[in-house]
Amino acid sequence: MTKIEVPADHPRKASLDIREKIIEGHEKNIVATAGLLAHGRGEAFDYMIGEATNAEAMDACRAAVAAMLLAKRPVISVNGNACALVPDELVDLSELTNAPLEINLFYYRPEREDAILQALLIAGAKEVLGTHDRPSETIPELSSNRRKVDSEGIAKADVVLVPLEDGDRTEALKAIGKFVITIDLNPMSRTSVYSDITIVDNIVRAAPLMVQYAREMKDWPSEKLNTLVASFDNRKNLNIEVSLMRDHLSHQIDATYKGDEP
Ligand code: PTJ
């Protein structure tokens, strides 16, 4: 399929460009077919939030980076959608926080694992965990493909970043004592609610912001990082995100009729 060049003045250019990245990722075997649908759900929530990073998402990003910098063994779990959208940022964040990248797929196929591995290596990753040739263990609480984890990665991790995750796995990771961070545009998903820190934002905006914060915060004393994590209240943050979506939506139609900015 030929890549569509979205005209620079198209009002929905940013959203359509992201869509093209996902389609391209699907053609390269990086994104699962179900990943296209998952992306559509994300787009709908992004629309509701105004397609911008709000102050609550920034707070969550800061707390997430602080938790990763404080962790003894942080790990970044990588699936097809995350890899297609932000491979460079995943590699940068991994280096800045000393968190290895681990491929962990819901819709596992060997060719997908290879495609994701290649994309991460091209983005500059020096080491990638979770591949079939590596030692692995299973999470007993889980029945999906994602139960298999790298023995040196998620199995031993204390803090796991799981962007765009399904609820069962998040619940299972919590059940085995992990501190879970997610990026999920749906503040009502089970993943958002079970996680310790949920960043309600599009991964295309949140990942570069996390990289920026990691650069700024990497030499901070642990007391300062601890304060950020301890003062973060996930439940409160999610409730604010839902009310921001409600407010945003309730102004949309009138603003369009009046020609005002919402
Ligand atoms: O690559 P695989 O095989 O591991 O599969 C990956 C998907 C995403 C298909 C799999 O994890 C899945 O089915 O996930 P869910 O259960 O659909 O959850 C994905 C969540 O991510 C949903 O709550 C979406 O709203 C959200 N989401 C989708 N796109 C984005 C997003 N959140 C942030 N940024 C996005 N771009």
pLDDT in tens, 142-197: 777 778 899 999 999 999 999 998 888 899 999 999 999 999 999 999 999 999 99
Q: Is the CB of 82 under 6 A from ligand 1?
A: no
Residue among 191, 192, 199, 151 at smallest CA distance from 172: 191
Residue carrying the six token digits 């990763």: 68
**What band does 252 get if pLDDT is binned at 50, 70 and 90?**
confident
pLDDT in tens, 108-150: 999 999 999 999 999 999 999 999 999 999 987 777 777 889 9
Q: Is the CB of 148 under 6 A from ligand 1?
A: no
Pocket test for ligand 1, best of 164, 182, 184, 194 (most atoms within 8 A of CB): 164
CB 67 within 8 A of CB 104: no
Distance CA 176, CA 194 (A): 13
What pTM did the predictor assign?
0.94
From the candidate CATH numbers 3.40.50.12640, 3.20.20.70, 1.10.10.10, 3.50.50.60, the one assigned to the domain spanning 55-241: 3.40.50.12640
Q: Is 197 helix (H, G, I), strand (E, B) or coil?
A: strand
What are the domain boundaries of the chain? 55-241
Distance 74 CA to ligand 1 centre (A): 21
